[in-house]
Amino acid sequence: MKKFSNLRRVEGKSKVTGTALFIDDLNFPDMLHGITVRSPVARGILKKIHFDPSINWNDFVIVTAKDIPGQNIIHLIKEDWPFLVGERINHKGEAIVLLAHHDQQKLSEASTKISFEIETLPAIFTIDDSINKKEIIWGDDNCFKKYYINKGDIDLAFKDAFHVFEQTYRTLHQEQLYIEPQGAIAAYNELEGITVWGSLQCPYYVHGALTNLFNFSNEKVRIIQSETGGAFGGKEDYPSMIAGHAALLAYKAKKPVKLIYKRAEDLQVTTKRHPSQTTIKTAVDEGGKLLAMDIAFLLDGGAYATLSEVVLSRGTLHAAGPYFCENIRIKSKVMATNSPPNGAFRGFGAPQSIFAMERHLDNVARSIGITPEKIRTINFIKRGQTTATNQVLDEKLDFDSLLSTTLSKLKKDTKKSKHKHIKSGIGIATFMHGAGFTGSGEKYLASVAGIEAMDDGKIKILCASTEMGQGRNTIFAQVVSETLGIDPHHILTPAPDTLEAPNSGPTVASRTSMIVGKLLEHAANGLRNTLLAAGLIPEKYTEAKFIQALKIYKKKYGTLKSFHQYKQPEHIKWDDQTYQGDAYPTFAWACYGAQVSVNTLTYEIKVDNFVATQEVGRVLNRKLAEGQIEGGIAQGIGFAIFEKAIFKDGVMINNSFTNYIMPTALDLPRIHVYFKEWNKDYGPGGAKGIGELPLDGSGPAVINAVADALNICPDTIPYLPEDLMNDMEFLK
């Protein structure tokens, strides 16, 4: 089979030349612009909406909750998130009124002339206040979801421990910082229904939300992905909201409506990474072997449940790290607060719990007098051993090799500063990330993907997975071309359109290449077998012969499509009730290392060198894979020492790129990326998922290096210069 592992980005030329059309590049005749008018309070009861009589409101399209023809709820996991406030307000910035007009200046002015009569209610903004039920704002206990994992006898194990160590770790909000803000365009006519073009990553999420919003049949809602300038999870659930708003305005106006957020609005009201609080209590013997782990993992879900349940699940399942321990207890909860809902962000839950575990192991090692490397090598999980959910790991697993590679490359490039006020440190993090949906998730989705032969002999990919910068187009073209033995340039990779693309599941959870790519590999084999059965190609054929056979088949029989649906392998066993069994079909494994220099005069932290070693099965496209790792590490460094979202009354107040500080190219080190390709039993050609992996370990590696440099114990990220200054003053 011919390999195309150096295939360049399929959509690269169109993006470089500017011919790629993003959502704000699209325009339609007689199109209106939309705007959202939002709640000024964090919690309350909406009594009345006042429209200033100085404005001629007949010139505007106005939509409130009373205008919704169907259900005023976004259908996700729990049905609690309204498109528009009907009566209850649960966070500042919640949408109450939608306006549309041809003139954006008049629209902006009019939006300031709407006021609200609101009965203000007490709000809560912290995990602790939510758990302590300072106010009940959701259900009867403010808890969206809880999980419990138990392995062995943890209480007995603690009785015999040589050393018990307990500490709490925290992570704060992180913004996805996609290049292009949230945006959608909607059009409506009675015959076809609603069509939405959007910057999004999960077309069928939006499709499901809008069919319920309008009480339309599936055929009367069509979702088309436009070019998408980044997502990172931030365009998984929220596009249902903005698409619904644009669609409501278009439905009432009977004209197309474009709704694009300004960056400040986007930062204030859209979902972010869940803040977390993790308390870990561990028991170890004299040599540092883990005897018991007791973990309490808490998330701040914001005002509505959204995707918090799956974020909590992922964080819970990764909380014990890649370590073998016979006695583990993990209790986790995600709590409601009166800030905008938090949602998915690359790694979704795992970066929070992995940060806590990796910091904790360094602290334990220090307290008993061994190195961070030693405590890890003693406790690395090995083939045949079981995870916290009693999943038996049955693949090659050599963390010692990952660790030794990382340390050798890291130390080789390490240079110490000659200045006394510059302190250097090295930190490591060893971790794993499950590929695909958790447990029975993939079985429940039953995703479908396919391909279709075109009249000119090209092959078109049919699936709902989206390109958002990660390389979906290139990988899918590569997989199908390799399977069929034809040049990748014969593969068409159109943006998903629910009118013709089957539901191949959301573009999340490091599943695109491994799960959907495998479906396309099967579909390609199915199409080839159809041609073989028709006697149009031999077992071994040239590209020219294959393309000629496609044309003959089309002319003789008509449509030629091949689809494949996911079927869960028989050996995967999972119990959703007990949270026991095979949490994931496979994991990617990694060891990351960072070298930092800390200026004790200015309190600046600089990452000087970074090494990332990971086992991800077959590397389908090395350039794209390296880019994924490097990009994730950049976000992880931001998570660790740069990006602090400041909230007041439940809303982000540093909502611009001038005061929400992200790392630039000048702030990043040289990143050395190394791959191991041990296990090739899963996705196409043996590929695993890698998209979320790099964000899991980069943050703790950096903070462990800071701790090593100064002999301090940071327990919260982001860790900014002012935090370092406070810690150093405390040590004095």
**For residues 255-279, average pLDDT:** 98
Measuring CA to CA, which residue among 513, 521, 552 is closest to residue 1?
Answer: 521
Two tokens, residue 609:
């060198």
- What is the structure's pLDDT at 586? 94
Q: Write out the two tokens for 17.
A: 């030349």
CB atoms within 10 A of CB 4: 16
Distance from C-alpha of 258 to C-alpha of 269, rounded to nearest angstrom = 18
CA dihedral 228→225→344→684, nearest 10 degrees, is -90
Q: Give the single-character DSSP code of 529.
A: H
Helix extents (H) in 271-349: 308-318
* pLDDT for the residue numbered 681: 87
Q: Report how far Cα 641 is from the mean position of its chain's Cα atoms.
A: 20
Q: In this structure, what DSSP letter does residue 22 have?
A: B
If you average pLDDT over residues 547-557, what whole number do you get?
95
Mean pLDDT of all residues in 63-69: 98
pLDDT digits (tens, 9 = 90+) for 676-706: 999 888 999 899 999 999 999 999 999 999 9
Residue 415 has pLDDT above 70, yes or no: no
Nearest to 490 by CA among 1, 7, 6, 5: 7
643/639 Cα distance (integer angstroms): 6
pLDDT band at 732 (very low <50, low <70, confident <90, very high): low
Q: Of 177, 310, 245, whose CA–CA distance to 34 is shortest?
A: 245
Looking at residue 683, the DSSP 8-state letter turns out to be: S
With beta carbons less than 8 A apart as the criterion, state whether 509 and 692 touch: yes
For residue 329, the surrounding DSSP H or E stretch is strand 328-336
Beta-carbon contacts of 459 under 8 Å, excluding residues fewer than 6 positions away, are 451, 452, 453, 480, 484, 486, 490, 491, 492, 524, 527, 550
Q: What is the pLDDT of residues 201-222, one digit of tens each?
A: 999 999 999 999 999 999 999 9
DSSP H or E run through 723: helix 721-731
DSSP 429: E
Burial class (CB in 10 A: 0-12, 13-18, 19+), 456: exposed
In this structure, what are the phi and psi dihedrals at residue 113, rounded to the nearest 5 degrees?
-100, 15
Could you give the CA distance from residue 86 to residue 96 in angstroms, rounded to a whole number?
A: 8
Query: What pLDDT, on a 0 to 100 scale, did the predictor assign at position 563?
Result: 98
Residue 1 has pLDDT above 60, yes or no: no
Rounded distance, CA 256 to CA 33, Å?
Answer: 9
CB 195 within 8 A of CB 26: no
What pLDDT score was predicted for residue 728?
A: 87
What is residue 2's predicted lDDT score, i.e. its pLDDT? Answer: 62
How confident is the model over 523-529, as a mean pLDDT? Answer: 98
The per-residue pLDDT of the chain, averaged, comes to: 96
Dist CA 724 CA 11 (whole Å): 43
- CB half-sphere exposure, 562, CA atoms < 13 A: 20
Which domains does the chain carry?
23-121+176-269 (3.30.365.10), 276-438+577-731 (3.30.365.10), 443-565 (3.30.365.10)
Q: What is the pTM of this model?
A: 0.96
CB 625 within 8 A of CB 615: no
Question: What letter represents residue 650's amino acid?
Answer: G
Name the token pair of 381. Answer: 């999980």
What distance in Å separates the CA atoms of residue 307 and residue 242, rounded to the nearest whole number? 16
Q: What is the pLDDT of residues 528-551, one digit of tens each?
A: 999 999 999 999 999 999 999 999
The secondary structure element, H or E, covering residue 475 is helix 472-484
Share of the chain above pLDDT 70, in %: 98
Residue 411 host element (H or E): helix 399-412
In what helix (H) or strand (E) does residue 647 lie, and over which residues does it extend?
strand 647-648
Amino acid letter, 315: G
CB 522 within 8 A of CB 515: no
Q: Cα 191 vs. chain centroid, distance in angstroms?
A: 36
pLDDT of residue 570: 87
**Spatial separation of the C-alpha atoms in residues 230 and 270, rounded to whole Å:** 15
Summarize the confidence of residues 95-102 as an average pLDDT: 98
Residue 348, CA distances (Å) to 170, 571, 696 in order: 15, 26, 9
Say if residue 731's pLDDT is above 70.
no
3-state per-residue secondary structure call for 109-158: HHHCCEEEEEEECCCCCCHHHHHCCCCCCCCCCCEEEEEEEEECCHHHHH
Q: Determine the average pLDDT of the residues in 413-417.
A: 66
CA-to-CA distance for 46 and 69, rounded, in angstroms? 20
Stretch 638-664: mean pLDDT, rounded?
Answer: 97
Distance (Å, whole) CA 539 – CA 529: 9
Q: pLDDT tens, 559-608?
A: 999 999 999 998 899 999 999 999 999 999 999 999 999 999 999 999 99
d(CA 732, CA 726): 10
Asked if residue 107 has pLDDT above 90, the reply is yes
Contact 427, 526 (CB under 8 A): no
Query: Please, where are the H alpha helices in 18-74?
Result: none
For residue 446, count other CB atoms closer than 10 A to its CB: 12
